[in-house]
Amino acid sequence: MLLLLVLTSLLSCSLGTPTINDGRIVGGHDISIEEAPYQVSLQYDNSHSCGGSIVAPNYIVTAAHCTEGKTEDGMSIRAGTSIREDGGQVIDVKKITNHPKYNTDSGSPDYDIAILELATNLELGFQVAVISLPTQDQTWPAGTEALISGWGLTHEGDTELPVNLQGASVQLIDQASCVAAYGGFITERMFCAGVDGGGVDSCQDDSGGPLQVEGILAGVVSFGNGCGLPGFPGVYTNVSDVLDFIHDVTGL
């Protein structure tokens, strides 16, 4: 199964190494695919493993830690449905391209982004749509509301994934507070989002999915210390900082 890196409690002391668990939208609610028509499920043998976002009819953005060490055999995406493993359009993945600088040298996944080229184009419509990319170095102020979505677990300790797509609103967090929470695990390619007091977050099995701001793919679900824990917001790959990679691979 593809996994989201979840940092141990030792992270707050800048000790230890990340452990690996699976992801979820914690504190969310059922949403319709029409509310996030760019959302896809990355699947192996028709089983959900990670999220992703449609950036062109034949290209999906996801997290590199979702595809690291994987091949295209048995990999597909499901788009255009709120239901995790039923309906919509299912298209095989033709090619995986991880960011060439993807690494976990700092103990967290840096340059955590990958592009999936599809075997055929998606048919776009109300339930299947392209999400806009940010401009180079585009930023939003702390407190800006964002939408996260995915099919990950809805409560810590659950074993059953939700059937229906989940969504939740979170706020962008200033970089100083993000670094204060995670120390040296945060790089310039990352930012944090969450809510005061915790309780709302993305996590395992939501990995690779979108954080959308004003109709723009601002972030890709990457990692965190647990899910929804107070003082530890979710960490996202900053899409505006990896645009060159996206442009080079997709030609967008």
Range 139-143 average pLDDT? 96
> In the annotation, is 22 catalytic?
no
Q: Which of 110, 112, 201, 205 is catalytic?
A: 112
Query: Catalytic: 99?
Result: no
Find the range with the poorest average confidence among 31-40, 53-62, 159-168, 243-252: 159-168
Point out the catalytic residue in the list 65, 76, 108, 201.
Answer: 65
18-42 pLDDT, tens digit each: 333 334 455 568 899 999 999 999 9
Mean per-residue pLDDT for 129-134?
A: 98
Tell me: pLDDT of 121 over 90. yes
What's the pLDDT score for residue 26?
Answer: 57
105 is a catalytic site residue: no
Query: Could you report the per-residue pLDDT of 58-78, keeping only the tens digit for each?
Result: 999 999 999 999 999 999 999
Region 127-132: mean pLDDT is 99
Q: Does the structure show a pLDDT above 90 at 172?
A: yes
Catalytic residue among 49, 53, 202, 207: 207
Asked if the model's pLDDT at residue 217 lies above 70, the reply is: yes
pLDDT at 10: 32
Residues in the chain: 252
Q: Is the pLDDT of residue 248 over 90?
A: yes
Q: Under a CB-based contact definition with an 8 Å cutoff, are residues 18 and 6 in contact?
A: yes
User: Average pLDDT of the chain?
Assistant: 85
- Between 86 and 26, whose confidence is greater? 86
All domains of the chain in start order, with CATH = 37-130+242-250 (2.40.10.10), 145-240 (2.40.10.10)
Give the pLDDT of residue 11: 40
Model confidence at 104: pLDDT above 60: yes
Tell me the pLDDT band of 146, cut-offs 50, 70 and 90.
very high
pLDDT reported for residue 152: 79
| pTM of the shown model | 0.88
